[in-house]
Structure 1
Amino acid sequence: MADLAQLKSRTRADYPYILEYRTRWSDNDMYDHMNNSIYNFLYDSVINTYLIEHCGLHPPSSPQYGMVVHSHNDYFASISFPACAELALRVNRIGKSSVTYEIALFEKGQDAVRSVGEFVQVFVDRETARPNANGIDPKLRLGLERILIKSRLSKL
């Protein structure tokens, strides 16, 4: 993952997929900003929305699904209800059975990134809950490659 200065300088243009989320009253905590646990909920949601819309994932029946094995988040500024969040998604690495995502949260109408997180999923077979010997399903891989940061290809 990039250093904090790089992450803090992220813009929407650094991400090929953006999903809007209207914050809810219940997202706020007693400090009047979005609770930390909501960030993970949103990161998981933007990833799965992308997988469903662009990779052919059907969560109840797809032969493979992604299990989160690592997550991390850096917070730079808060967001709170009634703001509209924009969740920006990219893939930083695709392995044989794993994917490393980077997700940024922006407040609509504001340029500065509020937080940047990393999720790592391992795609497993539904029947065994173990990675497939052949790796990620080709249709899933093709969809993930659409948002893979190209500068990373030469480093893999």
Structure 2
Amino acid sequence: MALDTAKSRRLEDYGFRLDHRTRWIDNDMYDHMNNSVYYFLFDSVVNAYLIKSCGLHPPTSDLIGLVVHSHCDYFAPVGFPAVIELGLRVVKLGKSSVTYEIGVFEKDQEEVKAVGEFVHVFVDRHTRRPRADGMGTQLKKGLQVLATPIKISKL
């Protein structure tokens, strides 16, 4: 994704949202949220959606999602104390894989602070190989809800 496209994201571009209150420990020595915390938040918003809307129960499910790729583009810092709004959308949905986009926003601010990408491949817990049915019907239906195109506003 082009940086200009990522920088133009707004919270309404995302179909699922999750709030997170920053903690003092999230800040690094430069007085902003450490980059590792962003990845923690990406994992949290993705898994919250999978559990809440896709019927996935990670501790007991025979189907698990392995992260095979992730990255983040940072545009502006966030630090303690702040409330972050995480937006989640699906940009690509395959038979056993899904590519998510996560937008990081500070509450009551329009500008996106960071945009991340997170790729899951769903596999059998025991063999660590994709199943013949891919991710399965229930999971795929739940993810398709977030795979809607971004609304383009007219000038």
Give the TM-score of the pair, scaled to structure 2.
Answer: 0.95
- Count residues with an aligned counterpart: 150
Q: Deviations over 1:70-118 (max 9, x none)?
A: 0010000000001000000000011111000000000001110000000
Deviation at 1:48, TM superposition (A): 0.2
Deviations 1:120-145 (A, max 9, x none): 00000112111112211110001000
1:23 aligns with 2:17: no
**How far is the alpha carbon of 1:69 from its aligned partner?**
0.1
The separation in 2 between residues aligned to 1:89 and 1:68, in whole angstroms, is 16
Q: Indicate the percent of aligned positions where both proteins have the same amino acid.
A: 59
**Aligned partners of 1:67, 1:117: CA distance in 2, in Å?**
17
- Give 2:153's aligned residue: none
Q: Which runs of 4+ in 1 moved over 3 A?
A: none
Which residue of 2 is the match for residue 65 of structure 1?
64
Which amino acid in the other structure matches residue 54 of structure 1?
Answer: S
Unaligned runs of 5+ in 2: 151-155
1:115 & 1:69 partners in 2: Cα distance?
Answer: 20
Q: How far 1:62 sits from its partner (Å)?
A: 1.1
| Residue aligning to 2:133 | 134
After TM superposition, give the deviation of residue 149 of structure 1 in Å. 2.6
TM-score (norm. length: structure 1): 0.94
Q: Distance in 2 between matches of 1:23 and 1:47?
A: 18
Quote the residue 1:154 is aligned against. Answer: none
Q: Say which SS state the counterpart of residue 121 (structure 1) adopts.
A: strand
Partner of 2:76: 77
Secondary structure at the residue paired with 1:86?
strand
1:120 aligns with 2:119: yes
